[in-house]
């Protein structure tokens, strides 16, 4: 496993992290807690030290599972969690939910309790970019949390460069979490250059495009009712994306799977600190972790990727969190 410095924070992070949305059990189909715990334990054994979760994943269940894994080894793990969507999830009609910094701090403290820790390494604003009135509450709360030593770094999870600029207008942000992959490259032309210019940490969610870039889903794929991908096969972009993935298979090698190619593509961007593919079991973790030591992409391979999935083409998948 290779490690990178997380922006200006000085925190060392494994370039492959563990995305803990799926283990919440409410958005990606069935998953067993025992498998989730085993997956995270295997991740730590393989040198993965960055675990990303959120209060809304499984209504806090993901954070509770993370707590079981980091217990007794807290100093070995960079814990990343988010606050914001939980309030809207519980009371979507009340606007704004986070109208005072005290409410953000309350959400933060609730995450601390579920995670069974007294500090969080990276804490994120997890609300949609157009809720500027709530951004102010988050900014003030983040200042307090960093001052009190409860949050080592803070940032915003968003795919909007306008929100990034608004959030960082006083240069107080440490990091951005964003969606970026071979099939969704638009952020490579705005947010990632901003991150690089300002020395911020960059956490990449969706590097496997919610599993599509593993190559295991065809045009006739079906997803369970509780899976956020349930309606994908009916979307106009889906068949085209599956066709692109099949063409990308030409780049598979004996020493690199399609998923590892997709992760390597993300990691090769100079602004990226860590990619956080999800995993439901230890085998998936092992495949993800191995991408860290897979060969860099050649110029010919990059040209073929550009031909198959041009940078200006952006696929749309609903409910990106």
Helices (runs of H) and strands (runs of E) counted in the chain? 11, 10
Instruction: Say if CB 287 and CB 260 are below 8 A apart.
Output: yes
Residues 74-96: b if buried by 16+ CB within 10 A, e if exposed = eeebbbbbbbbbbbbeeeeeeeb
Q: How many Å apart are CA 56 and CA 108, to the nearest integer?
A: 12
Q: How many Å apart are CA 209 and CA 100, to the nearest integer?
A: 35
Strand duo 120-125 + 78-83: pairing: parallel
**Residue 3 annotated among the catalytic residues of the structure:** no
Catalytic hit among 3, 57, 98, 238 = 57
Q: How many Å apart are CA 260 and CA 254, to the nearest integer?
A: 11
Q: How many Å apart are CA 206 and CA 183, to the nearest integer?
A: 10
Q: In what order do the strands lie in the sheet with 151-157?
A: 18-19, 50-52, 78-83, 120-125, 151-157, 175-179, 201-205, 274-275
- H-state helical runs in the chain: 33-45, 61-70, 85-90, 101-115, 132-147, 161-167, 191-198, 236-248, 258-267, 282-290, 299-308
Strand duo 18-19 + 12-14: pairing: unpaired
Instruction: Say if CB 137 and CB 104 are below 8 A apart.
Output: yes
- In angstroms, the first-to-last Cα distance of the chain is 26
- Which sequence positions are flagged as catalytic? 57
């Amino acid at each position: 496993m290779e490690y990178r410095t997380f922006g200006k924070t000085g925190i060392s992070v494994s370039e492959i992290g563990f995305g803990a949305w799926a283990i919440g059990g409410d958005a990606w189909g069935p998953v067993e807690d025992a498998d989730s715990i085993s997956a995270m334990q295997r991740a730590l054994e393989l040198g993965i030290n960055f675990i990303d979760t959120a209060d809304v994943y499984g209504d806090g269940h993901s954070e509770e599972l993370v707590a079981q894994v980091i217990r007794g080894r807290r100093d070995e793990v960079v814990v990343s969690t988010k606050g914001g969507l939980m309030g809207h999830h519980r009371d979507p009609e009340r606007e704004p939910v986070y109208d005072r910094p005290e409410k953000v701090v309350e959400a933060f403290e609730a995450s601390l309790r579920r995670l069974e820790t007294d500090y969080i390494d990276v804490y994120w604003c997890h609300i949609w970019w157009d809720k500027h009135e709530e951004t102010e509450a988050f900014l003030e709360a983040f200042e307090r949390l960093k001052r009190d030593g409860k949050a080592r770094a803070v940032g915003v999870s968003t795919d909007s460069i306008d929100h990034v600029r608004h959030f960082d207008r006083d240069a107080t942000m440490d990091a951005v979490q964003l969606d970026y992959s071979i099939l969704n490259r638009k952020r490579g032309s705005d947010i990632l250059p901003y991150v690089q210019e300002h020395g911020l940490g960059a956490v990449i969610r969706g590097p496997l495009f919610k599993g599509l870039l593993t190559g295991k889903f065809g045009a006739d794929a079906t997803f369970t009712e509780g899976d956020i991908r349930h309606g994908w096969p009916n979307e106009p972009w889906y068949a085209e994306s599956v066709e692109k993935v099949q063409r990308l298979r030409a780049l598979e090698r004996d020493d690199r799977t399609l998923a590892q190619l997709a992760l390597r593509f993300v990691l090769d961007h100079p602004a990226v600190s860590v990619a956080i593919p999800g995993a439901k079991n230890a085998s998936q973790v092992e495949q993800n972790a191995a991408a860290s030591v897979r060969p860099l992409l050649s110029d010919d391979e990059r040209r073929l990727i550009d031909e198959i999935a041009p940078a200006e083409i952006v696929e749309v998948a609903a409910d990106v969190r």
